Amino acid sequence: MTSITGKTALITGGGSGIGLGTATRLAVDGAHVAICGRTEQKLADAVAAIEPHVGEGGSVRMIVADVTVEDQVAAAIEFSAEPTGSLAILFANAGGSHHMGPMDAADADGIRATVDLNLVGTMLCIKHAIPAMKRGGGGSIIGMSSGAGAFPHKWLWAYGAAKAGIDMLCKSAADELGGDGIRVNSVQPGIVDDELMSFITAGGPLLDNYIEGMPLARVGTVDDIAEAVRFLAGPESSWITGINLPIDGGHHLRNGADYSLLFGDQ
Protein backbone atom coordinates (compact mmCIF):
# COMPACT_ATOMS: atom_id res chain seq x y z
CA MET A 1 0.00 0.00 0.00
CA THR A 2 1.38 3.38 -1.00
CA SER A 3 -1.68 5.56 -0.64
CA ILE A 4 -2.20 8.49 1.70
CA THR A 5 -5.69 9.15 0.33
CA GLY A 6 -7.99 10.24 3.13
CA LYS A 7 -5.15 10.63 5.63
CA THR A 8 -5.07 13.78 7.75
CA ALA A 9 -1.98 16.00 7.67
CA LEU A 10 -0.81 19.23 9.29
CA ILE A 11 1.95 21.35 7.74
CA THR A 12 3.16 24.20 9.92
CA GLY A 13 4.52 27.20 8.06
CA GLY A 14 2.37 26.01 5.19
CA GLY A 15 1.67 29.37 3.59
CA SER A 16 4.79 29.59 1.43
CA GLY A 17 7.99 27.91 0.26
CA ILE A 18 8.66 24.32 1.26
CA GLY A 19 5.56 24.21 3.45
CA LEU A 20 3.28 25.24 0.59
CA GLY A 21 5.01 22.89 -1.84
CA THR A 22 4.68 19.96 0.54
CA ALA A 23 1.05 20.74 1.34
CA THR A 24 0.33 20.71 -2.39
CA ARG A 25 2.19 17.43 -2.84
CA LEU A 26 0.22 15.68 -0.09
CA ALA A 27 -3.07 17.13 -1.32
CA VAL A 28 -2.39 15.85 -4.85
CA ASP A 29 -2.30 12.35 -3.36
CA GLY A 30 -5.68 12.83 -1.70
CA ALA A 31 -4.72 13.73 1.87
CA HIS A 32 -6.85 15.97 4.07
CA VAL A 33 -4.26 18.73 4.42
CA ALA A 34 -4.37 21.53 6.98
CA ILE A 35 -1.84 24.35 6.86
CA CYS A 36 -1.07 26.77 9.64
CA GLY A 37 0.98 29.92 10.02
CA ARG A 38 0.80 33.36 11.59
CA THR A 39 -0.52 35.35 8.61
CA GLU A 40 -4.15 34.76 7.64
CA GLN A 41 -3.97 36.25 4.14
CA LYS A 42 -0.88 34.24 3.23
CA LEU A 43 -2.68 31.06 4.32
CA ALA A 44 -5.81 31.99 2.38
CA ASP A 45 -3.73 32.58 -0.75
CA ALA A 46 -2.02 29.23 -0.24
CA VAL A 47 -5.32 27.38 0.10
CA ALA A 48 -6.53 28.99 -3.12
CA ALA A 49 -3.33 27.87 -4.86
CA ILE A 50 -3.60 24.29 -3.58
CA GLU A 51 -7.32 23.71 -4.18
CA PRO A 52 -7.12 23.08 -7.95
CA HIS A 53 -4.61 20.29 -7.32
CA VAL A 54 -6.42 18.37 -4.56
CA GLY A 55 -6.77 14.72 -5.47
CA GLU A 56 -9.84 12.55 -5.05
CA GLY A 57 -10.64 11.98 -1.38
CA GLY A 58 -8.60 14.93 -0.18
CA SER A 59 -9.14 18.47 1.02
CA VAL A 60 -7.23 21.57 2.09
CA ARG A 61 -8.01 23.91 4.99
CA MET A 62 -6.20 26.55 7.03
CA ILE A 63 -5.89 27.73 10.63
CA VAL A 64 -3.93 30.67 11.99
CA ALA A 65 -1.44 29.47 14.60
CA ASP A 66 1.97 30.46 15.98
CA VAL A 67 4.05 27.38 16.80
CA THR A 68 5.64 29.13 19.77
CA VAL A 69 2.22 29.48 21.47
CA GLU A 70 1.20 26.14 22.93
CA ASP A 71 -2.56 26.72 23.01
CA GLN A 72 -2.50 27.64 19.32
CA VAL A 73 -0.46 24.53 18.48
CA ALA A 74 -2.95 22.33 20.33
CA ALA A 75 -5.84 23.95 18.47
CA ALA A 76 -4.11 23.46 15.11
CA ILE A 77 -3.54 19.76 15.79
CA GLU A 78 -7.17 19.17 16.73
CA PHE A 79 -8.38 21.17 13.72
CA SER A 80 -6.20 19.02 11.46
CA ALA A 81 -7.58 15.80 12.96
CA GLU A 82 -11.25 16.73 12.40
CA PRO A 83 -11.83 14.90 9.08
CA THR A 84 -11.11 11.46 10.61
CA GLY A 85 -10.81 12.06 14.36
CA SER A 86 -7.05 11.48 14.39
CA LEU A 87 -3.85 12.86 12.86
CA ALA A 88 -1.79 10.73 10.47
CA ILE A 89 0.95 13.11 9.26
CA LEU A 90 2.73 16.09 10.81
CA PHE A 91 5.32 18.12 8.95
CA ALA A 92 6.73 20.50 11.57
CA ASN A 93 8.10 22.89 8.99
CA ALA A 94 7.84 26.32 10.64
CA GLY A 95 11.19 27.89 11.47
CA GLY A 96 13.62 30.67 10.73
CA SER A 97 16.57 32.62 12.07
CA HIS A 98 16.47 35.68 14.33
CA HIS A 99 20.25 35.88 14.66
CA MET A 100 23.21 35.89 12.29
CA GLY A 101 26.76 36.93 13.07
CA PRO A 102 29.89 36.17 15.09
CA MET A 103 29.58 34.75 18.59
CA ASP A 104 31.32 37.67 20.28
CA ALA A 105 28.58 40.00 19.01
CA ALA A 106 25.69 37.65 19.78
CA ASP A 107 22.31 39.07 20.67
CA ALA A 108 20.82 36.93 23.43
CA ASP A 109 17.24 37.80 22.58
CA GLY A 110 17.79 36.81 18.95
CA ILE A 111 19.32 33.50 20.01
CA ARG A 112 16.42 32.73 22.35
CA ALA A 113 13.88 33.62 19.65
CA THR A 114 15.65 31.35 17.15
CA VAL A 115 15.65 28.41 19.57
CA ASP A 116 12.03 29.08 20.56
CA LEU A 117 10.77 29.18 16.98
CA ASN A 118 12.69 26.16 15.72
CA LEU A 119 13.33 23.75 18.58
CA VAL A 120 10.60 24.60 21.07
CA GLY A 121 8.03 25.10 18.31
CA THR A 122 8.80 21.67 16.87
CA MET A 123 8.68 20.10 20.33
CA LEU A 124 5.23 21.58 20.99
CA CYS A 125 3.96 20.25 17.67
CA ILE A 126 5.24 16.75 18.45
CA LYS A 127 3.85 16.88 22.01
CA HIS A 128 0.33 17.64 20.84
CA ALA A 129 0.48 15.35 17.80
CA ILE A 130 1.14 12.29 19.97
CA PRO A 131 -2.37 11.83 21.42
CA ALA A 132 -3.97 12.73 18.08
CA MET A 133 -1.86 10.06 16.34
CA LYS A 134 -2.42 7.47 19.04
CA ARG A 135 -6.17 7.76 18.41
CA GLY A 136 -5.57 6.54 14.87
CA GLY A 137 -3.10 3.82 15.74
CA GLY A 138 0.04 5.74 14.73
CA GLY A 139 1.38 8.21 12.24
CA SER A 140 4.41 9.89 10.74
CA ILE A 141 6.13 13.02 12.04
CA ILE A 142 8.72 14.87 9.97
CA GLY A 143 10.75 17.67 11.54
CA MET A 144 12.30 20.47 9.48
CA SER A 145 16.00 20.61 10.21
CA SER A 146 18.76 22.01 7.97
CA GLY A 147 22.22 21.27 6.72
CA ALA A 148 23.22 24.03 9.13
CA GLY A 149 22.19 21.68 11.94
CA ALA A 150 24.50 18.92 10.72
CA PHE A 151 27.75 20.78 9.93
CA PRO A 152 28.95 24.35 10.61
CA HIS A 153 27.87 27.30 8.48
CA LYS A 154 29.89 30.35 9.48
CA TRP A 155 27.79 33.01 11.30
CA LEU A 156 24.64 30.85 11.10
CA TRP A 157 25.48 28.99 14.32
CA ALA A 158 22.38 29.97 16.37
CA TYR A 159 20.06 28.65 13.69
CA GLY A 160 22.30 25.62 13.24
CA ALA A 161 22.30 24.81 16.95
CA ALA A 162 18.50 25.02 17.04
CA LYS A 163 18.22 22.74 14.01
CA ALA A 164 20.68 20.26 15.52
CA GLY A 165 18.36 20.19 18.50
CA ILE A 166 15.49 19.25 16.20
CA ASP A 167 17.49 16.33 14.82
CA MET A 168 18.13 14.96 18.30
CA LEU A 169 14.55 15.69 19.35
CA CYS A 170 13.29 13.63 16.41
CA LYS A 171 15.63 10.74 17.19
CA SER A 172 14.53 10.75 20.81
CA ALA A 173 10.87 10.88 19.82
CA ALA A 174 11.38 8.03 17.34
CA ASP A 175 12.86 5.89 20.10
CA GLU A 176 10.08 6.75 22.54
CA LEU A 177 7.09 6.52 20.22
CA GLY A 178 7.84 3.53 18.01
CA GLY A 179 5.76 1.27 20.20
CA ASP A 180 2.77 3.50 19.51
CA GLY A 181 3.19 3.14 15.77
CA ILE A 182 4.48 6.71 15.44
CA ARG A 183 7.51 7.21 13.23
CA VAL A 184 9.62 10.36 13.59
CA ASN A 185 12.27 11.59 11.16
CA SER A 186 13.77 14.91 10.10
CA VAL A 187 14.93 16.38 6.82
CA GLN A 188 18.04 18.55 6.38
CA PRO A 189 17.61 20.68 3.25
CA GLY A 190 20.48 22.54 1.68
CA ILE A 191 20.01 25.81 -0.17
CA VAL A 192 16.55 25.82 -1.80
CA ASP A 193 15.27 28.32 -4.33
CA ASP A 194 12.16 29.62 -2.58
CA GLU A 195 10.89 32.93 -1.23
CA LEU A 196 12.91 32.75 1.97
CA MET A 197 16.22 32.06 0.24
CA SER A 198 15.76 34.29 -2.81
CA PHE A 199 18.24 36.81 -1.41
CA ILE A 200 20.88 34.08 -1.74
CA THR A 201 19.71 32.15 -4.81
CA ALA A 202 19.51 35.37 -6.85
CA GLY A 203 23.31 35.18 -7.04
CA GLY A 204 26.42 36.47 -5.34
CA PRO A 205 29.40 35.25 -3.32
CA LEU A 206 27.34 33.18 -0.87
CA LEU A 207 25.55 31.30 -3.64
CA ASP A 208 28.90 30.69 -5.33
CA ASN A 209 30.21 29.34 -2.02
CA TYR A 210 27.26 26.97 -1.76
CA ILE A 211 27.70 25.66 -5.30
CA GLU A 212 31.45 25.15 -4.83
CA GLY A 213 30.70 22.92 -1.85
CA MET A 214 28.04 20.84 -3.58
CA PRO A 215 28.85 17.78 -5.71
CA LEU A 216 25.59 18.09 -7.67
CA ALA A 217 26.29 21.81 -8.18
CA ARG A 218 22.77 23.23 -8.26
CA VAL A 219 20.36 24.78 -5.81
CA GLY A 220 17.47 22.67 -4.64
CA THR A 221 13.84 23.11 -5.53
CA VAL A 222 10.78 23.06 -3.31
CA ASP A 223 9.75 19.87 -5.11
CA ASP A 224 13.03 18.18 -4.13
CA ILE A 225 12.11 18.59 -0.48
CA ALA A 226 8.38 17.94 -0.89
CA GLU A 227 9.02 14.57 -2.55
CA ALA A 228 11.28 13.47 0.31
CA VAL A 229 8.71 14.53 2.91
CA ARG A 230 5.99 12.69 0.96
CA PHE A 231 8.11 9.53 1.11
CA LEU A 232 8.69 9.84 4.85
CA ALA A 233 5.02 10.63 5.43
CA GLY A 234 3.65 7.61 3.61
CA PRO A 235 3.60 3.83 3.94
CA GLU A 236 6.52 3.53 1.51
CA SER A 237 8.79 4.37 4.48
CA SER A 238 6.96 2.27 7.05
CA TRP A 239 10.20 0.71 8.39
CA ILE A 240 12.12 3.98 8.63
CA THR A 241 12.29 6.01 11.82
CA GLY A 242 14.87 8.13 13.62
CA ILE A 243 16.77 9.33 10.54
CA ASN A 244 18.02 12.85 9.76
CA LEU A 245 17.93 12.94 5.96
CA PRO A 246 20.20 15.34 4.02
CA ILE A 247 18.56 16.72 0.87
CA ASP A 248 21.30 19.02 -0.31
CA GLY A 249 23.00 17.93 -3.53
CA GLY A 250 25.78 16.34 -1.47
CA HIS A 251 26.68 19.54 0.40
CA HIS A 252 27.03 17.53 3.62
CA LEU A 253 30.05 15.77 2.06
CA ARG A 254 32.08 18.98 1.99
CA ASN A 255 32.12 22.31 3.84
CA GLY A 256 29.31 24.42 5.24
CA ALA A 257 28.45 27.76 3.65
CA ASP A 258 30.11 30.97 4.89
CA TYR A 259 27.35 33.45 5.77
CA SER A 260 29.86 36.19 6.52
CA LEU A 261 30.02 36.56 2.72
CA LEU A 262 26.65 38.32 2.91
CA PHE A 263 28.44 41.12 4.69
CA GLY A 264 31.62 41.18 2.61
CA ASP A 265 33.68 39.77 5.47
CA GLN A 266 35.44 36.45 5.24
CATH number 3.40.50.720 given to 8-192+220-249: yes
Residue 1 pLDDT:
53
Q: Across the strands, what pairs with 144? A: 187
Q: What is the mean pLDDT of residues 37-52?
A: 98
Q: What is the mean pLDDT of residues 115-121?
A: 98
CA distance readout (Å), 40 to 20, 64, 93, 195, 238: 14, 6, 17, 18, 34
Question: 265 pLDDT band (50/70/90 cuts)?
Answer: low
Ordered by start, the domain boundaries in the chain are 8-192+220-249
Residue 117 pLDDT:
98
User: Which listed residue (155, 157, 159, 259) is catalytic?
Assistant: 159
Residues 60-113 have pLDDT tens digits of 999 999 999 999 999 999 999 999 999 999 999 999 999 999 999 999 999 999
- Whole-model pTM? 0.97
Side-chain-side CA neighbours of residue 15 (13 Å): 18
Is 80 exceeded by the pLDDT of residue 161? Answer: yes
Residue 123 pLDDT:
98
Residue 47 pLDDT:
98
Residues 193-244 have pLDDT tens digits of 999 899 999 999 999 999 999 999 999 999 999 999 999 999 999 999 999 9
Residue 266 pLDDT:
47
How far is Cα 55 from Cα 43, in angstroms, rounded to an integer?
Answer: 19
Q: What is the mean pLDDT of residues 25-45?
A: 98
Average pLDDT score over the chain:
97
Q: How far is CA 137 from the centre of its chain?
A: 23
Catalytic residue flag (residue 210): no
> HEC profile for the chain?
CCCCCCCEEEEECCCCHHHHHHHHHHHHCCCEEEEEECCHHHHHHHHHHHHHHCCCCCEEEEEECCCCCHHHHHHHHHHHHCCCCCCCEEEECCCCCCCCCCHHHCCHHHHHHHHHHHHHHHHHHHHHHHHHHHCCCCEEEEEECCHHHCCCCECCHHHHHHHHHHHHHHHHHHHHHHHHCEEEEEEEECCECCCCCHHHHCCCHHHHHHHHCCCCCCCECHHHHHHHHHHHHCHHHCCCCCCEEEECCCHHHCCCCEHHHHHCCC
Question: 2 pLDDT band (50/70/90 cuts)?
Answer: low
How far is Cα 44 from Cα 61, in angstroms, rounded to an integer?
Answer: 9
Residue 31: partners with Cβ closer than 8 Å, 6 or more residues away: 4, 5, 6, 7, 8, 9, 58, 88, 89
Residue 264 pLDDT:
78
